[in-house]
Amino acid sequence: MYNNFAKIYDKFMKYCDYDQWSSYIKDKIEEYHPQGKTLLDLGCGTGETLIRLKENFQCSGLDLSKEMLEIAHKKLKNKGVNLFMGDMREFNTGEKYDIIISLFDTVNHLTSIEDLEDLFSAVKGSLNENGIYIFDVVDRKFMEAMFPGGIYYDERKDMTIIWEHSREDDLDFVEANFFVKNKNNTYDKYKEYYEKKIFDRSEIEKAVKKNDLSLLTVAKNDKIAGERYFYVVKKS
């Protein structure tokens, strides 16, 4: 997951307005933890959010994918941002943070309630007292809008993507073949496969409670990248 795909992730995400995204997160921090100074981006990917938040916070990032981190490292070299390779279900960077974030449905990459509980447990262990965790998840409606049939094409100027989507039990399976136009006007092919789980609000609330964290708010946002739900959870 996110290895070969890392090479074209930023091109694929070109439509995503990270500036808008980052100011939305800054507003949430201002509202729920204005004194927060240190921030960890869990599932930081290629570092697009960290680039935008590093002026306001002392930032760090963590991701499972070495390839995504290599790209983040190129962008953030000598910029005072620490990057870690690790699993969000069991990470420990040796530091504690005022704010932890996980954006662009990174949490939906977990595939069981146990994984979700492990995530909150690891987050709790790495938050300072009164620290907050902000993350977004997508729901079934989003998945249906994104994958309208078992198979469909997304044709863009410089790439064509063939998506195959299926569901079994409570998991979604996504396979994408990317055909990316190169300098020679031929196409390079990249393949990506991942599983996703749609957690409903009561499952998230239960996992939050089980870890003695408090849910401060759940906000729907459909202005940035489809309809998403942003949760803010606090350690106190």
Ligand X SMILES: C[S@@+](CC[C@H](N)C(=O)[O-])C[C@H]1O[C@@H](n2cnc3c(N)ncnc32)[C@H](O)[C@@H]1O
**Residue with smaller CB distance to ligand X, 64 or 213:** 64
Q: Can you point out the beta strands (E) in the chain? A: 38-42, 58-63, 82-85, 97-102, 127-137, 151-155, 159-168, 171-181, 187-197, 214-221, 228-234
| Count of residues in the chain | 236
Binding site for ligand X (CB under 6 A): 2, 43-45, 48-49, 63-65, 68, 87-89, 103-106, 109
**In terms of Cα–Cα distance, which of 67, 83, 15 is closest to 192?**
67
**Residue with smaller CB distance to ligand X, 87 or 203:** 87
Smallest gap from residue 230 Cβ to ligand X (A):
13
The continuous run of DSSP H or E covering 144 comes out as helix 140-146
Smallest gap from residue 83 Cβ to ligand X (A):
12
**Residue with smaller CB distance to ligand X, 103 or 214:** 103
Smallest gap from residue 184 Cβ to ligand X (A):
29
Nearest-CB residue for ligand X: 45
Structure-token pair, residue 6: 């890392």
Smallest gap from residue 102 Cβ to ligand X (A):
7
**Residue with smaller CB distance to ligand X, 130 or 224:** 224
- Our measurement of the distance from residue 213's CA atom to the centroid of its chain's CA atoms, rounded to an integer in Å, reads 20
